[in-house]
Structure 1
């Protein structure tokens, strides 16, 4: 059964269309993440599901019920915001109980639900504290607890971790993942951070300029992107893209020449028949590029620029002969120094071919 289904959903502000005919189906109990760069429409789409933005066109269904024109309070959703939105003069208990108190629920019911949520979120020892006495991560857990006590059909998270420092974001990602496993509710989460998306999601929806680029499981998008945007956005560091020219095509293969390695044609799996001489892009991830010559690979000359040192792993930034930027994953002790001329080998079996317009050549 679908937890949320969007059919032909669009949104316009006057003459400007910001969400373009979105079709998404999120299964009940699934954790879906809307991801994309700032301004791509992901928060607007979330607010439309919540009922905080009117829908210009299309249909929104929650648990098979059409809620497109239903007011926000009657959709059975709870939203957790980036800013926490806690009442500073109320205790943690009263913040979490606020919606139940407004609904005039029995005191015993309020007590039971708040304490159950506090136990899940490890907030029991802080129920008498004020928000000012809590850390950022604890405040966000209170905001999540306030949503839990409402027992919504759907939880909506709008960049809830963006105000936290890097270490705390990692911890809170684990908390949210644990919460989803524990309560099994349908959750939709908005972020511009693709690491968050890869870590949390059962399903990722990649957006660009209000258009859905691809929907799928994290590793599906990583291993099988539909276009250069998805290939470059999903994965950290992002995929390398190099200019190439088609030498020949047929029988499910493309023979290509890299602009940076002319005269050394190699084959990429691609069913599309592309005219000889057409300019395309070849994509290869940093972990599929190695230092030095390797038999069976595609050789490439480059110059080391600098390295991001992470200890066991480093990410070497290089420039090719034509000035293309690339990132190479380095393991072990081998670390070239800046401005050193180096030799790289690209794994042709792990490469992707894209048209000049950025679409995947399959």
Structure 2
């Protein structure tokens, strides 16, 4: 009986030793397994998220096999190959002795300031014009939508002189870029050049449609504000654009008086020279905006003219349904006298669809002269 008991004790001891050895070996193998060295990765907004898997395990990466990162949880910017700003958890798997599962943290930040693509160092303003549209002189570019803010607190609009103002571009993630510019307040008559100042000029109509171009001006006193029928049509179009998820601002640049256009044109001439200014800005008396029938659509935030291709393509195909036409088309510069402006729409009412279907400019459709001055 004693011998049997002793034999059982020896068996238990041997089994215990074997178990201890197995545990020790397993523990040793576990301790020696490659460990995750880096599990947080930061990317700048606009960059494609691609993780270098060798960075996850550092020097031990050669001991790891079949590393697979699941990127499906990234919220991608529409039609882009990079994700929205935010923090993400990406599952990943890898194999050593066995298959493992873990998670990586990805942080997408936007630290890039907007960039000014159009900037006027000096802007002339007619004395007393406190409602001057400074924003039309600046454009800013960024991956996200930009807004422009103008600080003119130090400008005395009722006193001639040179003043310092500041324009600030802010993107959707609060990155800002600011620049100072000079506002020259001067008597209104000094801002008028190359204009049709003859009050005897008569507005020109063809088939009931008012024509304003480089051949057909209107007198200084013509117009008295935005046309309400035209404004209602534009607002309906903008509302429908927003309903379809298109990026467009609710406000437009519309009616401009003769004196306002004088100042606007003169500033462009000062900045770019008259020959260049004449390709994109009307001389006073020659602007459709004076009629109250023309509208410049804007990007969200109201700072920049509408240029995103999805929105402008939609406008080109659908504006006629609202009695509007895209007035200055690409390839028609020789007859309209201006560079293509996909943001500039003109209310023409019932003939809009016929003009659209013809593929012609308004001058061609009505058979009137256009082109240069």
Q: Normalising by structure 1, what TM-score? A: 0.23
If each structure's helix is expressed as a fraction of its own residues, which one has the higher value? 2
If each structure's strand is expressed as a fraction of its own residues, which one has the higher value? 1
Larger radius of gyration: 2
